[in-house]
Chain A
Amino acid sequence: MSTLVLYLALAMAILMLVGAFVVVVTKDLLVAVIASAVVDLVLAILFYILQAPDVAITQASIGAGLTTAIFVVVVRKTKRFEDD
């Protein structure tokens, strides 16, 4: 049964790489904020699978709610599109 959870953790790590690639590549900063929310989400799942529930609670509450909202406010105050 633990082999199944290990395969799930491997799949989640690959998905986290996809999200981080989108964050680096894109020119639209709002899209970068959304993709970093995905990275936070998958990181919380990985902490959960590695049996650290307190770290996962902190990561969930900070990463899902607070960081994205603050970054959206920052994008609002500055500008949305990065120029070449």
Chain B
Amino acid sequence: MNWIIVLGLIALGTVLTILRTALGPTAPDRVVAVDSMTTITTALLVLLGLLMDRYIYLDISLVYAALAFIATLAIARYLEGGV
């Protein structure tokens, strides 16, 4: 019962951010949606690691949390004018 509520809330949040990515009027809207979807995904991976009870699965979340902001930073530099 706990897992249904928690995973349902997080999956609903993912659906909303992907809808904003598909609909958003300008490019920065979509980048904002993708950026917060990355953070939601990191939390989701940690929670799934608790659900499946595997300690090794936390490494993926670690890689995600450390590396996923590079894409957002590159797109922000592009929008600002430099590369």
- Chain A residues proximal to chain B, CB less than 8 Å: 1, 4-5, 8, 11-12, 15, 18-19, 21-22, 28, 30-31, 33-35, 37-38, 41, 44-45, 48-49, 51, 53, 56-57, 60-61, 64-66, 68-69, 72-73, 75-76
User: Can you name 24 A-B pairs with beta carbons within 8 Å?
Assistant: A4-B4, A8-B11, A21-B22, A22-B21, A31-B30, A34-B30, A34-B75, A41-B34, A44-B41, A45-B41, A45-B45, A48-B60, A53-B56, A53-B60, A57-B63, A60-B63, A60-B64, A64-B38, A64-B70, A68-B71, A69-B70, A69-B74, A72-B83, A73-B83
CB distance from A47 to the nearest CB of B (A): 9
CB distance from A57 to the nearest CB of B (A): 5
Number of interface residues of B (CB under 8 A): 38
Of A4, A51, A57, the residue contacting B7 (CB under 8 A) is A4
Q: How many A-B residue pairs have CB under 8 A?
A: 108
Whether the Cβ atoms of B30 and A60 lie closer than 8 Å is no
Consensus secondary structure, chain A interface: helix
Whether the Cβ atoms of A30 and B60 lie closer than 8 Å is no
When distances are taken between beta carbons in the complex, the residues of chain A under 8 Å from B68 are 60, 64-65
The answer, yes or no, to whether B15 is at the interface (CB within 8 Å) is yes
Of A11, A31, A66, A68, the residue contacting B15 (CB under 8 A) is A11
Closest B residue, CB atoms, query A70: B74
Residue from B7, B71, B75 having most chain A Cβ neighbours under 10 A: B71
